[in-house]
Structure 1
């Protein structure tokens, strides 16, 4: 691992883990020996990062010059903590880890009083344990396709167990407690389609780039679906 990447992982661990963090725990988090960990702590300190503590006691990040100071209200802190905690119920492992790391960076910039409020947030997220459909494809590739606006080729098995192969323009994903949905423009059908991501059996990068059409396609999709929902609501509304 490159030295800069290793030091970044060490900073992330110091921000995220309960204080003080032992050298053994930090070494495990950054996948180095304890001897190397001591050298990396010294390197951070030489670079201006204030790390309190010592071997045998544990370490605490007291000032992080890489991050500007921030301030939030008590309720804003509660909202941030609740939002990231909910990722564990809704998101995949990579998304959950990213949210926790981002939150750790935010908390590291808070004044002491607000950092204590974050550590003792009073609002919690709880959902009954429900089986979630298992995703087998590379979600990182699917997210990259949405962000960078390139097509993907998929093999999809629908609820009737019919298997089709097609090339799509992925527009966005929607998490729910039970599954993950993908909104896309299907190049085979020439229409919008929604796919249950766990039912996608194969995924690979396609040949088409649709930048900068994603935002416009999403707007058209939302407009179309909103009109359908309003019409359905009018049809089911009892006569006055």
Structure 2
């Protein structure tokens, strides 16, 4: 079950066999066994398998290190996320605490690891939730932007990803004005408008290229 969750769906029997160090025949037999126990697994031999999470299945358990990782990640989002994302992290933490067994819930509440920021990042000048949705839906955006020198411009761009970079939230995007990849600070963006124009399905390959460029620039 965890291998199906970890691998990109649909996971082939060959991938699952390599991941679990068993034969493909064992994978097919285990898939049948899981289905008979109530697991909803879509797919078939030759096409790959996708686990469809079902609320009726037993709750997922976490080991001690996984709980610490969850706490650290959620508290970091609470500390640096935009208001909507920070609230979402708080709600996710409360849901985890309520659903975990009492011993693990106690460990979640009193984890050793934590995240503390004494200065919150600048508040985004636009609706960060709408920006995230535009990136997921691969829709072009239009916005006003004021750069570090105070120069104001009107931009349209294809939003690729939002990252926490140099103590501020930044948008990685393909800028139509500059005809190139650009990084925009969210606190310098204004008047966000999500357009009908779509750049699907180019977000993932474009983001891969942009990240590779940033990585190369960082190594130089």
Structure 1 gaps, min length 5 = 1-64, 233-240
Task: Quote the Cα distance in structure 1 between the aligned partners of 2:155 and 2:216.
Answer: 27
Deviating more after overlay: 154-163 vs 78-87: 78-87
Equivalent pair of 2:121/2:169 in contact (CA under 8 Å): no
Structure 1 length-normalised TM: 0.64
The equivalent residue for 1:93 is 83
- Which string of whole-angstrom CA distances, capped at 9 and with x for unpartnered residues, describes residues 188-232 of structure 1? 2210010111001221112420111000000111222223333x2
Task: Quote the Cα distance in structure 2 between the aligned partners of 1:95 and 1:177.
Answer: 19
Task: Quote the Cα distance in structure 2 between the aligned partners of 1:95 and 1:138.
Answer: 11
2:67 is the alignment partner of 1:77:
yes
* Aligned residues between the structures: 166
For the structure 1 residues 226 and 178, does the alpha-carbon distance in structure 2 shift closer, same or farther, using more than 3 Å as the test?
closer
Partner of residue 135 from structure 2, selected from 134, 138, 146: 146
Shift of 1:111: 1.9
Deviating more after overlay: 86-95 vs 154-163: 86-95
Shift of 1:67: 7.5
2:101 is the alignment partner of 1:111:
yes
Partner SS state of residue 76, structure 2: helix
Partner SS state of residue 106, structure 1: helix
- Which string of whole-angstrom CA distances, capped at 9 and with x for unpartnered residues, describes residues 13-55 of structure 1? xxxxxxxxxxxxxxxxxxxxxxxxxxxxxxxxxxxxxxxxxxx
2:163 is the alignment partner of 1:174:
yes
The equivalent residue for 1:220 is 209
Task: Quote the Cα distance in structure 1 between the aligned partners of 2:139 and 2:96.
Answer: 32
Task: Quote the Cα distance in structure 1 between the aligned partners of 2:155 and 2:171.
Answer: 14
Q: Which has the larger radius of gyration?
A: 1
Structure 2 gaps, min length 5 = 1-54
Partner of residue 211 from structure 1, selected from 167, 184, 200: 200
2:150 is the alignment partner of 1:196:
no
Equivalent pair of 1:167/1:206 in contact (CA under 8 Å): no
Task: Quote the Cα distance in structure 1 between the aligned partners of 2:57 and 2:97.
Answer: 10
